[in-house]
Structure formats: C-alpha cells, structure tokens
A and B are shown apart, each in its own frame.
Chain A
C-alpha cells in the first residue's frame, strides 16, 4: 500500500496519484543520482550501483527510536494529515490512527491500555503504579471528576481544543455531584502551584486564590502554537519560551472530534510546571463541559477544587515534578540532538551528508611521542669507530698509479728535457751565430697583395683592422710591418680600429716605429681605438668612422686630418685586416663584404690562420694575403729596402725550430714504433 503524503489515504501499490485527493504519489520510484536507475520507494540504496538514494537524513539507531507505546485512550489526535516534514509525523499519524479506532469506554471502567501501561512499568517505575491496584489512585480519582458532563450542549469549539475536549469527556457522568465550589486545593496540587525555583518566590499560592499558571490556563481561550510549554523533567528542555516540536504538533493541529467522551484532567501536562517555575508556563487551557461555566480569571474551577479535596495526600509514589516512565516514553527524541555528519563540499555530491564518514582517528592531528635519547648500541659505536679510522688513514695509491708515477720522473721528464734543449738550441743558435740557411721565399699571394697596395693612389684612406694582441705580436708585427710600411710609402692615410681591447696599444707601438716623421702622424694615421661588440661593433664602425675619438690625441675623429672626408667604409679605398685569430678575419670579411662589396680587402694573418683564409682568397673576397713570418719576410723582400737583419734572424730561427720539431716527431715515432706501445 502507498499512503498519500497529503491526505494519508492508502492507495494500491503502483498507484501514481491518490484516489482521494489526486496528489501525485512518490511511489513511482526514486531515481538514482549516480546511475539514473529507478528504484522502488523505500530503497535506501540503489539496486544497480548501491549509491545512497536518501542522503540527507540520519537514521537513528534502534535504541534511540521512540518506543511504540499505546496511545492514551481518549486523546483525540489531529485528524488533519500532517503536512510538514519531520520524523515525528509518522508516529503521530499512527498514533492518531490508532486513537481513532479506540471507542470510548464506559464510565468507571479501567481501560485496557491503562492496565498495559501500568503493568509492564513495574521494575522501572514502581512508584508510579500503586501496589494495591492496577490503576493508581490519583488517576482513578482524576478519571472521576466532579464536573458534570453535558453532552447535549455543544462545546465551545472556538475556545476548546479538540484534544482537550476529548480529555474532558470521560469525566462527564461523574462530574455533576462532585464539585464543591469552594474546594481547597490539595497539597499535591499546591506543591505544583508553588514554584520550586528561586526565580518566582514572589508568587505565593496562598495570597492569590488562583496561581498564575492556572490563571493563564483559564484566561487564554485558545492555545497558541507559539505558547511556551514547561520542559519535562529529565529531558533536555528547549530554551525558555519555546515549545518542543512534538508538543507543537499537538497544539497546531485543529482538533475536531465531536462526540468524544473521554475526559481527563490535564495532570500529565500540568504536573511538570513545578519543575520549571521560572519560565512563563502556558499550556492549552483546560475547558470543561458546556454546562460548566468558564470561571472568570483568577478563580479556580469547581472540578479542580473537587479533585483537590478528594485527592489523597499522597499520589502513590508519584513525586511532584517527576514524569513517570510511561509518559516519558511518549516524548519523541529532539531533532536538534541529532548530530549532523559532515556534508560534502564539492562535486555532484555537494550537500549530501554521511557519504564518506571520516574514519575515527584520521581527523585527529598526529602527535609526536616525545622520547628520551637512547644510548647508541655497541654495534653502532663499532661502525662509527671503523669509519673514523678509515677517514683518518692517509690516502693510498694503487700499484698502477705508483708505477706510473715512478715512470714519469725518468721517461716523461727526460723526453721533455730533450725537446726543450733542442728547441732552445734552434732558437739561440741564429742569435749567437749569423746563419744564412734560408733565403726569402716567393709566395704568390704576397705578390698579388703587393701589387694591389702598390696601385693605391696617394692619399687614399685605408681602414686597418688591428686584430691581434701582445701574445701574437712577435709574429704579427713581422707580418704587418712590411705591409704598413708599403701603405705609408704609397701615401695612404691609415684609419685604425680594433675589436680587441689590447689591439690599439699594439698598433700604436708598431705605427710609431714605422712612421719616419712623427710630425706626420696627425695627417697620416688616426687610431680610433677599441670597438666592442664583435660583429655588431664592426658593423657599427663601418657606418660611423668619424663619430669616434682618436686615441693618441683624444680629439674627435672628425677633427683629425688623417680621417678627413671619411665617414664610412664607402669612403675608404681599401680594408686591411691584420688578424691572428680565424674568427676575426671571418667577421671583418663578412661585414665589409656585406656593407661595401666593391671595397677591396687584403689581409695579413698569422701562420695558423693561413689555411682558413685561403678559401676567401680563392673566392676573390680577399685580394691578397700575407701569412706568417715567411709571408712577412717575402713581403719585406719586395720592398725597396730589402729584407734586413731582423727578418734574417727570425726566418733562420723559425726554420731551425721547425726542422727540429720535424726531427723530434720522426725520432719519437721511430722510438715508440721499435720500443712498443705503452699503455
């Protein structure tokens, strides 16, 4: 069966709409949020993927569920179906349904439910059930109040809640002869009236005929849903002024149970007032039957006085401000007491609770257990001593290394000594004895270069790239010297630049020695100094020759006569590159050829750059070249002055040294070929 969530009507299984009110039924199934499969109503987990279908509710454990207790007979539960959510709806509905089925008992007969309540409560609440009877006396007396019932007179429905009217009905027949109008309040009731707490000591029950809490009961014609209810003893009480939800359900529901005859004094609700007198207690008013006039405010009703007179001084073990177990069992658990589990914060399961509960202990911070330092074990001490001993030992060499070291002082040092002596002899011998072993060679590239320089008109500006330093000066000065001499003799004006920091200084030393008349220096030579930046510097200086400073005079280049009219490489008649490194020659050839392909380039290079310069020479990018000491000697010999003593010495020394090196290479090859290879 499927019960309609709106009207509570039972419908057949599989119905989609309620037969009574037409509301859609939820029995059509629940769609799984994970796999989308439809599941029958009531499933907590999906049949296909076992995902949770009802995520947000926490099902209380079995021991926390309210014990099913038979409803109080005669209490009319709300007939209007509960529409608001909450776990208490179901048990209220069931309670109401069962209450409706209970017919009012005849007057003076103990209802079976009361016997059930009192009988099993023996061990836990012995003070509730009197020993002499199944029904406690106080309850029996309350069931026979003196308020006369008047069934023929309809109750004031506007003022009396239905459930309270039902409580009053059973006492109807016995009521007429009972109530003495001026009955005194019994002691137990007086105790209830007297506030037990210190918060209301100024309200003595003696001075006021009717206690405040009772006056409020009588004055208020209709219970307000928001009216505060005194907290039950032994139960966590809501804040002052609030009514628990389970009680609010009773009050909010309109009670329409006409004809109900059950009538009970509101002792179950009122007797707890003494336990919390500080709060302004307010309970639904207890209204009597219609023939009993509603007493004015401040006046005790007759039925209550009669009950007070006939009430026994003792309530059979019932202690004021104490709720019996059977009544306490009716109270549902407070929802607020349910501890909420952490909810998912991200993903499609965001907002769902209880999906992946954190393992106990995982959310606890790890704490380091302090421990006292322990003494090292003997084995650890032994290992440490062994390591220390190894580290303190002197370094040991292998036998192979020792053998090699033993070989070096003899063979290695001897060979080096032999080579050194031979080279020194080859160099010093021409210095000590004038030798004429070598004559000036004839080099075709030098012949071409000489012809190009010789054809230069007088006064032609020549850009000289001075790209060598002191380390190469002994060789390069013999290469550059004859060429510079020839240029100066041809009347050329030299503009010197260098991409090496030491280049201008080396150039200055050579130029000063080659210029016969130092007074001609400003008209013949302009040393523009160092140009940083390698290729970028060459490119920049080729387009801005007169924008620099002359090194020897410190004047701007534009004010030096030697560079007059020369603004860029286009204004020079030749470029001479004096390079001791291969990259320097390459950079200058590339930049000059790119800037002004029509400007002839000649080069004076060291012997080791000769091989690299040959491709430029054969390609025509370099008109002529003088390479090494041999090329310098050849160029020197082409000049009018002929080659002098200086070139004779250098050429003979160089020739002897080269022959010595060749001899050493051959001797060494023979020695090691005959003696075997060493490893």
Chain B
C-alpha cells in the first residue's frame, strides 16, 4: 500500500498527464487540446500553491536555525518575511494601505537587492586582480584577455584604438562566443528533450520516492 501511494500512483499520474499534454500538441484534436489546456492550468495552480509552501518552509528552516549560533540572522529574516507578507497583504486587501506596500518595496527591498547585486561587481573586480595569484595556465590567460576585450570593447572609448576594440569585441561575440553559446543551447535543448522522455517513460521520478 505504501509503495502504491509513494511510487506507483505518482508515476502513473505523471506519465499519463505528460502523454495527454504531448498528444494535445501533436494531434489536431480539439478534445485533446482542451484537455491539454486544462492540465496546464492545473499546473499553474499547483505551482502557485508550491510557492506558498516554499514560503512556510523558509520560515520553518530559519526558525530551526535561529536557535543555533548565529541565529540572529535567521530571526531578522523571519521578521522581514512576516513584515513583507503583512504589508503586501494589507496593500492588496485594503486599497488605502497600498502606499505601505509601495514604500516597503521601493525603499527597503529594492535598495537591499541592488546592494547585494552590486557586491557581485566588487567580488568580480577582486577576482580579476588576483586571477594569476594561484594559476598561470594558458586558459587563465585566455580568460583574462577575453575579459579585457569585452570590458573595454563594450564602451565607446574616446581614445585611439577604441573603435578597433569595439570591432574586435563584436567579432569575438559573434564568432567564438556565438559558437560556444549555440553549443550550450543545443545541449540544453537536448537535455530538456531527454528529461521529458525520461519522465514520460517513468525512468526519472522526481515526484516520488
């Protein structure tokens, strides 16, 4: 009974649903198309519910961490999450209180996220400075040269040779980088196709034990 609930039924439901959606795309049958659209609509609802579950799971995990050393950060996170939830709910349910949600987003959330994102530039700059400290291989030198070309070629440098750098950057982006990126995209496409087939055949069961 336990195996039926945890493995067989989820697998059968996932395979059946995937086949129905796939047939809805492949066959021009109105009934299959309507079934496909309905199943996609269900997936959206399930995803929204999973988002809510993720929020409560975040609270649970950090409530456990809050009792350990350094748990003050978890306490701050829990408080911030609850305040954000309360203000957002108030802004959606009570129109006069909408300004509270906008204020919180514009003057708290946006600067904080921008600050964290700005730290990435600082870390990348430090990494560029120390790039050859540990490694002196050919690949590292190629990486360093590419970074310099892209950084300087992006800008319309008001110096002699600026246009040459821009042209070099454009060639670099359109030929070597394009080749690498196409290879990555083809690999991603094949991977998505393979994962879809494995899920449809029940080989991969990420939804069950």
Contacts and interface: CB of A to CB of B under 8 A. Distances in A.
Interface of A: 415-416, 418-420, 422-423, 437-441, 469-474, 501-502, 505-506, 509, 531-534, 536-537, 539-540, 543, 554, 586, 607, 610-612, 614-615, 618, 628, 630, 654-655, 657-662, 664-669, 672-673, 677-679
Interface string B64-108: 000000000000000000000000000000010000011001100
The 8 closest A-B pairs by CB, nearest first: A470-B110, A668-B129, A471-B113, A665-B128, A533-B47, A533-B44, A536-B43, A532-B48
A658 B128 contact: no
B206 interface: no
Contacts of A534: 47
Contact of A665 (B114, B131, B155): B131
A532 B53 CA distance: 13
B109 A419 contact: no
Contacts, number: 159
B160 interface: no
Contact of B178 (A415, A531, A615): A615
A586 B114 CA distance: 24
Contacts of B177: 611, 614
Contacts of B102: 505, 509
Interface stretch (B6-14, B116-124, B197-205): B116-124
A469 B144 CA distance: 30
Nearest to A633: B156
Interface string B125-154: 110111111111000000010011001101
A536 B105 CA distance: 27
Contacts of A416: 126
Nearest to B49: A532
A71 B182 CA distance: 113
A420 B131 CA distance: 16
Nearest to B174: A614
Contacts of A628: 154
Contact of B182 (A610, A615, A677): A615
B121 A677 contact: no
Contact of A677 (B48, B134, B166): B134
B181 A532 contact: no
30 contacts: A415-B130, A419-B125, A420-B122, A438-B156, A439-B158, A440-B156, A441-B166, A470-B114, A474-B117, A502-B105, A505-B102, A506-B110, A509-B106, A533-B44, A533-B46, A533-B47, A537-B47, A611-B181, A614-B173, A614-B181, A661-B121, A661-B151, A662-B152, A665-B147, A665-B148, A667-B129, A668-B133, A672-B130, A672-B136, A673-B132
A659 B114 contact: no
B177 to A, nearest CB: 5
Contacts of B144: 665, 669
A415 B44 contact: no
A505 B98 CA distance: 12
Contacts of A668: 128-133
Contact of B152 (A441, A610, A658, A679): A658
Contacts of B46: 533
Given A533-B48, A610-B173, 11 more contacts: A474-B117, A502-B109, A532-B51, A611-B177, A614-B178, A618-B174, A630-B154, A661-B151, A662-B128, A665-B129, A666-B148
Contacts of A659: 151-152, 155
Contacts of B112: 470
A469 B111 CA distance: 11
Contacts of B22: none
Nearest to B109: A470
Contacts of A473: 110, 113-114
Contact of A470 (B51, B105, B128): B105
Contacts of A539: 40
Interface of B: 37, 40-41, 43-44, 46-48, 51, 95, 101-102, 105-106, 109-114, 116-117, 121-122, 124-126, 128-136, 144, 147-148, 151-152, 154-158, 166, 173-174, 177-178, 181-182, 184-185, 188
B133 A419 contact: no
B181 A615 contact: yes
Given A533-B47, A669-B131, A423 B181 contact: no
B132 A672 contact: yes
A664 B152 contact: no
A412 to B, nearest CB: 9
A536 B109 CA distance: 28
Contacts of A471: 113-114, 116-117
A173 to B, nearest CB: 93
A536 B132 contact: no
A672 B128 CA distance: 12
B14 to A, nearest CB: 14
Contacts of A506: 110
A664 B128 contact: yes
Given A473-B110, A540-B41, A661-B151, A438 B122 contact: no
A423 B122 contact: yes
Contacts of A610: 173
A654 B155 contact: yes
A299 B37 CA distance: 115
B169 to A, nearest CB: 11
Which of B101, B181, B188 counts the most chain A CB atoms within 10 A?
B181
Contact of A536 (B44, B106, B147, B173): B44
A660 B129 CA distance: 11
A679 to B, nearest CB: 8
A549 to B, nearest CB: 11
Nearest to B128: A665
B36 to A, nearest CB: 9
A667 B41 CA distance: 56
Nearest to B177: A611
Nearest to B133: A672
B129 A438 contact: no
A505 B122 contact: no
A537 B151 contact: no
Contacts of A415: 126, 129-130
A664 B105 CA distance: 35
A537 to B, nearest CB: 5
B68 to A, nearest CB: 19
Contacts of B41: 540
B117 A472 contact: yes
Nearest to A630: B154
Contacts of B124: 661
A543 B131 contact: no
A677 B178 CA distance: 34
A659 B121 CA distance: 13
A505 B99 CA distance: 12
Given A415-B126, A470-B114, A628-B154, A532 B121 contact: no
